[in-house]
Amino acid sequence: MYREQSISPSVLCSASVRNSCDCCEEYNTDIMLSDLADYHTATRDPIGTGWANAGVSNNINRGFITHLSASKGMCDLPSIEDTLRTTTPAVVVRDPQLQKRGRHARAQLRSIPFFDELGINTVVHADVYDNDFKLIDYTHYRSEDVSEIVDDVEFPLVQITTQEGIEEYGEEELVRALLQHATKERKRYILVTDTTSPRLPTYIRKPGRSVVDDYDVAVKDYETLSARYLEDHVDSTLPASQTRNLHYHRASEYHKQRDAPAGTLEGIYDYTRAPSQSPIWEPLYYFIEHDLENVLDEYSERISDALRSWTERGETRKVANQMLDALRICEFEKEQLREYQQTDPNLR
């Protein structure tokens, strides 16, 4: 049955984590491994059994950090309990973007950067959403592969699905298994879906009842959560009405602080002017590492389609063309891309 537990706000940093709160000073972009370890420790999930990823991707060797604000100290970022305003392990998060179908369907994965920054980097979703592309680095499980190995899946985790996916595409058993495991073991499970009352018709037969009635879950709305988080913890030039993808807002924030284009996605993804440590370089490495050069004839269209899964509105083709231009300049070679990335923007 639905039960909401409110908690008072708190900060992450404490004397037990660091000897002094120097993390609250201007965040140094030349981040050290010790800083990452401290932040990793500070954001340990009290519900799950593992360490949270804390939103910092494994990008140190590339010279940039994904998602972490450059203007805010690490101890300014709230815990996931403070952000969700609940300590209940299982949370249903309604994302209206998942309600859209057909040619209007896009940005189904927009919530992943948000939960990644909160320390949840394991995501379960159907292949249909990602187009073999990741805007950020995260651990992806295909929905069809998880049902039989729920006890072995790393928690905390996020699952992205819809009521249609539950009823028509075989995800009902998976949702039920993950809910049971999360509530029994007190492990963090976020079910991002298109409704506040997802139904399991095979197991919950009474009309009008849903998982909210039969399981101990909290219910949240992604647009409310993201709006509050952007207002309180992100200094982005992008309007929330344009996108609620935190990755784009962190990139905008980073560019704004360095007098780089920050007000539109097209401007942010202008690689000739992007700061060397901007998060926007990460997708280019993904394309190179997955050897997608072989589909060069349809590259722009493929990148554009892939970006649609992360972007609510706007012309993704323009951003795709800018990515493709940067890849061509570097001849799809990682070392050349790294050199290009580290070149002064005034000399690119």
At 52 the pLDDT is 37
338 vs 214: CA distance, rounded Å:
52
At 289 the pLDDT is 84
Joined tokens for residue 250:
């962190």
Burial class of residue 6 in the structure, from the number of CB atoms within 10 Å of its CB (0-12 exposed, 13-18 middle, 19+ buried): exposed
- Within the chain, residue ranges assigned H as helices are 33-42, 80-84, 112-117, 143-146, 163-168, 172-185, 211-214, 222-233, 246-257, 265-268, 282-289, 299-308, 316-329, 334-342
Sequence spans of domains, the chain = 90-225, 236-347
At 72 the pLDDT is 47
Is the preceding omega at residue 156 within 30 degrees of 0, hence cis?
A: yes
Left (φ > 0), alpha (ψ -120 to 50) or beta: where does 170 sit?
left
pLDDT in tens, the chain (348 residues): 444 433 333 333 333 222 334 443 333 333 333 333 333 333 333 343 333 333 333 333 344 444 444 444 445 789 999 999 999 999 999 999 998 776 678 999 999 999 999 999 999 998 888 777 889 999 999 998 887 788 888 899 999 999 999 999 989 999 999 999 999 999 999 999 999 999 999 999 999 899 999 999 999 999 999 999 999 999 999 999 999 999 999 999 999 999 999 999 999 999 999 999 999 999 999 888 876 555 555 778 888 888 999 999 877 889 999 999 999 999 989 999 999 999 999 999
311 vs 301: CA distance, rounded Å:
15
At 128 the pLDDT is 81
Element (H, E) at 122: strand 122-125
Please name which of 192, 149, 197, 156 lies closest in space to residue 173, comparing C-alpha atoms. Answer: 149
272 vs 325: CA distance, rounded Å:
10
Please name which of 258, 212, 224 lies closest in space to residue 114, comparing C-alpha atoms. Answer: 224
320 vs 312: CA distance, rounded Å:
15
At 37 the pLDDT is 34
